[in-house]
């Protein structure tokens, strides 16, 4: 396993852990009618940054991974092999979409003045992103 692959593999624990924490924090804040404080802002921002770092590591890993050379055999070869399709198509596309959703939640919460609405934007969009991430993790190889 290359160094980058190990980093991407270990960083995934941090991403999933921090996302779950931020989502719970947002729903607890919303349903106990708490004010959205600087602490909540920091937790949500931390989850956003950790996820974006994973996205960057993933993008680099994609092009240096030995699996990438499978594209030389053509689209049919990649799409016809479920493992290659997962690593080269489904995992990257779904996870990029997940990061877009998480980023949207972050941007939308900033435009809200009410604490409840801020918590909900973070909670819902981060949760949607997390569900997408979990749907395309190579569970046969990880953890």
State the residues that interact with ligand HEM by CB under 6 A: 5, 8-9, 12, 15, 51, 54-55, 58-59, 61-62, 65, 67, 87, 91-92, 95-96, 99, 133, 137-138, 141-142
Cα gap 52→96, rounded to integer Å: 10
**Count of positions (residues) in the chain:** 143
Contact 111, 8 (CB under 8 A): no
Give the nearer residue to ligand HEM in terms of CB position, either 29 or 47: 47
**Distance of closest approach, residue 64 Cβ to ligand HEM, in angstroms:** 9
Give the nearer residue to ligand HEM in terms of CB position, either 24 or 28: 24
Cα gap 27→53, rounded to integer Å: 25
Give the nearer residue to ligand HEM in terms of CB position, either 120 or 133: 133
Give the nearer residue to ligand HEM in terms of CB position, either 74 or 138: 138
Question: 2-28 b/e with 16+ CB inside 10 Å = b?
Answer: eeeeeebbebbeebbebbeebbebbbe
**Distance of closest approach, residue 138 Cβ to ligand HEM, in angstroms:** 5
**Distance of closest approach, residue 141 Cβ to ligand HEM, in angstroms:** 4
Residue of this chain nearest to ligand HEM (CB atom): 58
**Distance of closest approach, residue 132 Cβ to ligand HEM, in angstroms:** 9
Q: Alpha-carbon Rg of the chain, whole angstroms? A: 17
**Distance of closest approach, residue 35 Cβ to ligand HEM, in angstroms:** 30
Structure tokens of 5?
A: 């692959």
Residue 140 has phi, psi (to 5 degrees) of: -75, -20
């Amino acid at each position: 396993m290359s160094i980058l692959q190990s980093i991407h593999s270990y960083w995934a624990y941090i991403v999933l852990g921090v996302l779950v924490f931020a989502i719970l924090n947002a729903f607890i804040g919303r349903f106990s009618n708490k004010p959205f404080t600087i602490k909540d802002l920091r937790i949500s921002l931390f989850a956003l940054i950790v996820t974006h770092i994973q996205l960057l590591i993933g993008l680099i890993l994609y092009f240096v991974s030995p699996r990438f050379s499978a594209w030389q055999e053509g689209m049919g070869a990649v799409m016809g092999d479920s493992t290659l399709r997962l690593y080269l198509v489904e995992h990257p596309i779904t996870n990029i979409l997940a990061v877009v959703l998480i980023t949207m939640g972050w941007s939308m919460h900033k435009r809200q003045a009410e604490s409840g609405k801020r918590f909900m934007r973070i909670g819902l969009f981060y949760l949607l992103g997390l569900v997408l991430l979990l749907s395309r993790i190579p569970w046969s190889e990880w953890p």
